Amino acid sequence: MTKALPDHVRKLVAEIETEIGESDEAARAAPIEGSGIRRANGRSAGLAAGRIEEAVRDILVEIGEDPAREGLIGTPDRVHRMYAELTAGYHVDPDRLVNGAIYDEDYSEMVVVRDIPFYSLCEHHLLPFFGTAAVAYIPRGRVIGLSKIPRIVEMYARRLQVQERLTQQIADFLDERLSPQGVGVVIEANHLCAVMRGIRKPGTVMTTSAVLGLFRSRDRTRAEFLGHLARRPPGA
């Protein structure tokens, strides 16, 4: 028996996968690759319904709280729904996300999409990290639709992550789908695990990069990419 995604998560998955105006009927019916879960048509059977809620109640008791008090009665269900939403990227079908938006084009100069906001969860403490991503590639006769690049970032960000892996996954996805001359990804993020606990240093920014092809082998190409990132965006 397959489990169905909660309705709000199914809608989020469809939002990441599809363009405005596209029908999401196929998304509602299509199985989610590798998960054993089938998207539900407007109905939610829950994901491990009850187990997450019970675990949250146990945590509340362990920290000295009363799960039965007014402010906490609905907290286990809210936490369940929150984690389902924040990890919706596991259920996105990459083929539906791309949806044929790869085009033959005689263009071989650098394409850069920058200042892409994202929010993710650190897998070590389940605390958020968030910031912006910059993605660039040099086509080899094939380009991808502009809106797909922020969707790729979103797909991987909505998983339990470390920033280094998130950066590499975005680069590898474009490399596999486009076979370009090169790919470059830079992510800058604030991590609440370094702000709220541990070292407790507000304002600390972590920067990671992944470079493939010409971005790795040619200094001039890498410098051009970094030069684009240093420029102020229009209207700033």
Could you say which of 53, 80, 91, 122 is catalytic?
122
Q: What is the rounded distance in angstroms from the CA atom of residue 112 to the CA atom of residue 129?
A: 23
Burial class (CB in 10 A: 0-12, 13-18, 19+), 100: exposed
- Indicate if 193 belongs to the active site: yes
Could you say which of 25, 105, 124, 164 is catalytic?
124
- Indicate if 105 belongs to the active site: no
Q: Which two tokens stand for residue 63?
A: 């920290």
- φ, ψ dihedrals at 185, nearest 5°: -135, 130
Residue among 135, 103, 119, 111 nearest 189 (CA): 119
Could you say which of 65, 85, 188, 193 is catalytic?
193
Q: What is the rounded distance in angstroms from the CA atom of residue 7 to the CA atom of residue 230?
A: 41
- Indicate if 191 belongs to the active site: yes
- Indicate if 224 belongs to the active site: no
Could you say which of 53, 154, 161, 163 is catalytic?
163
- Indicate if 122 belongs to the active site: yes
Cα–Cα distances (Å) from 8 to 45, 116, 229, in that order, read 12, 23, 35
Could you say which of 53, 169, 191, 224 is catalytic?
191
- DSSP for residue 116: E
Could you say which of 125, 168, 188, 228 is catalytic?
125
Could you say which of 25, 123, 164, 176 is catalytic?
123
Q: What is the rounded distance in angstroms from the CA atom of residue 77 to the CA atom of residue 74?
A: 6
Catalytic residues: 122-125, 163, 191, 193
